[in-house]
Amino acid sequence: MSSRKPFAKKKRLIKETNRNRRVPAWVMQRTARKFTSHPRRHHWRRSTLQK
């Protein structure tokens, strides 16, 4: 990926990388392991981000 990109796009990408984490362990405990995967989780190569 090129380093020269608009600031707005870079800001969105940073937001998505921060969001791309697993569900905390205490959430799994509180919901009796109903939420084991994060609904907003994505892989950088398999899926594209929404605009």
pLDDT per position as a tens digit, 1-51: 678 999 998 998 999 998 899 999 999 999 998 888 888 888 888 988 876
pLDDT of residue 1: 62
Number of residues in the chain: 51
Residue 3: what pLDDT?
Answer: 84
* pLDDT in the model for residue 44: 85
Spatial contact of 23 and 37, defined as CB atoms under 8 Å apart? yes
Would the pTM count as exceeding 0.85?
A: no
14: left (phi over 0), alpha (psi -120 to 50) or beta: alpha
pLDDT of residue 51: 65
